Structure 1
Amino acid sequence: MTADLFGREQAEDLISAPARKVSGTVVQALATKRPEDFRTEWTAALKIGFEGIPGDRHSGFTRRSGGREPWYPNGTEMCNERQISVLSAEELAAVAADMGIERLEAGWIGGNVVTEGIPRLSLVPPRTRLVFAGGVVLRVDGDNAPCRIAGKAIAERCPGHEGLDLLFPKVARRRRGLVAYVERPGVIRPGEAVTAHIPEHWLYR
């Protein structure tokens, strides 16, 4: 590895990937019907504001920290970067197959938008913009780590299968989709195109 006089890595030594665009289609739009329940149901038009989906469990400009943020005392008010859950139809099918169940519905695990055609959706990097044909733009915060709570919701829909609550966090790692926040509000509808504007990114060493 080469470096300049100040010890900085030279640009040619970076492990990087150029900016590019990858297009897909929205196949489902979903929202919570009851704020106390994280599970979601199909909707023909997903209305989105800067705060997220009005009335949704994860709506709001801020949220309270939990187990995902051990660096804060539990319940600390913080920026809400988890307004929208974006899932991949292909990844849902793959996870279901690896769990030995017939299907895995996005609504069971609280998905809001399901796409088709964007390969390895869960691995697109932070700062990616998801630009929808109807005008909505979501900014990706990162991948959504699978948890036992979602696994329990799957187990309730699949009687006769043991241990799904524990299996889901293992099988769905890096295939659980993305969490994003709203950069431009509007309406998302099933059938519309969505393009992932992936920025130049690199491995920080």
Structure 2
Amino acid sequence: MTPFIRARTLEGRVTQLLAAEGSSFETTAVPALDLSYEGIPADRHSGLLRKSGPREPWYPRGTEMRNERQLSILGQDELLALARDLDIPCLAAEWIGGNLVLEGVPHVSLLPPRTLLMFDGGVTIRIDGDNGPCRKSGAMIARHVEGRPDLEFAFVKIAQHRRGVLGWVERAGRITAGETVRVRIWEQQPYPDPEPHQR
């Protein structure tokens, strides 16, 4: 068995908060987010429950399930690195539907499931897992960068494991821009690779 990775707590800061009202995919910067246990009120991803989609092929399409995709959390360093690797001047969080942008927390996209984001104001968000890049996000980036239709597909390839994480509200309340966040990563051990006969 491989050794356990110790529990640890990181500290960062919220640099941007955003919300998507109604059916819009793009988000808009806001000074604060008032979160309920359904997520961001009026946001397209709000709700305790959601319908399954192509990311859940083990359910018939449209099956009611727990909404673990209430919030999209991005890392400032990853946005900068993606812009560089895509050869574009910038990659705005709103183009890919981000809700929170954090700085001071390296490799946000690699935060493991169960990680807790605990904000100064009392809100806690629990991480479900990484958010896989899709063509819809790539197409939105291409709309904002003139002469680069290739970005629709390039983003999907380049943003693997760097597109942020998804989370849901464990403790409701208000988050404000500039707020400090403590990132509580639990003790963990990678699950062993199964023996060939178990695959």
Q: What TM-score, normalized to structure 2?
A: 0.95
Do structure 1's residue 180 and structure 2's residue 170 form an aligned pair?
no
Give, in angstroms, the shift of residue 165 of structure 1.
0.4
Aligned to 2:60, what secondary structure does the other structure show? coil
**C-alpha contact (below 8 Å) 2:139/2:149 kept by paired residues:** no
Question: Identity rate of aligned residues, in percent?
Answer: 51
1:16 aligned partner: 4
Spell out, residue by residue over 1:99-144, the C-alpha distance to the aligned partner (whole angstroms, 9 max, x if none). Answer: 0100000011100000001011110110000001111100000000
Aligned to 1:82, what secondary structure does the other structure show? coil
1:78 aligned partner: 65
Give, in angstroms, the shift of residue 161 of structure 1.
1.5
Amino acid at match of 1:187: R
Do structure 1's residue 87 and structure 2's residue 74 form an aligned pair?
yes
Give, in angstroms, the shift of residue 162 of structure 1.
3.3
1:4 aligned partner: none
The counterpart of 1:141, out of the listed 125, 128, 149, is: 128
CA spacing shift, 1:74–1:166, aligned 2, 3 Å:
same
What is the rounded CA distance, in whole Å, between the counterparts of 1:61 and 1:163 in structure 2?
36
What is the rounded CA distance, in whole Å, between the counterparts of 2:101 and 2:3 in structure 1?
31
Amino acid at match of 1:92: L
Aligned to 1:17, what secondary structure does the other structure show? coil
Deviates more, 1:21-30 or 1:156-165: 156-165
What is the rounded CA distance, in whole Å, between the counterparts of 2:70 and 2:13 in structure 1?
20
- Structure 1 residue runs without a partner (length 5+): 1-12
2:25 aligned partner: 38
Aligned to 1:188, what secondary structure does the other structure show? strand
Give, in angstroms, the shift of residue 187 of structure 1.
0.8
Give, in angstroms, the shift of residue 58 of structure 1.
0.2
- After TM superposition, where is structure 1 displaced by more than 2 Å over at least 4 residues in a row? 13-16
1:194 aligned partner: 181
1:157 aligned partner: 144
Give, in angstroms, the shift of residue 16 of structure 1.
2.4
2:197 aligned partner: none
Question: In the comparison of the two structures, how many residue pairs are matched?
Answer: 192
The counterpart of 1:62, out of the listed 35, 49, 65, is: 49
The counterpart of 1:28, out of the listed 11, 16, 30, is: 16
Which structure has the larger Rg over C-alpha atoms?
Answer: 1
Amino acid at match of 1:24: G
Give, in angstroms, the shift of residue 20 of structure 1.
0.2
Spell out, residue by residue over 1:26-81, the C-alpha distance to the aligned partner (whole angstroms, 9 max, x if none). Answer: 00000013x11111000011110000000000000000010100001111110000
Amino acid at match of 2:189: W
What is the rounded CA distance, in whole Å, between the counterparts of 1:159 and 1:75 in structure 2?
36
Give, in angstroms, the shift of residue 14 of structure 1.
2.7
What is the rounded CA distance, in whole Å, between the counterparts of 2:3 and 2:74 in structure 1?
27
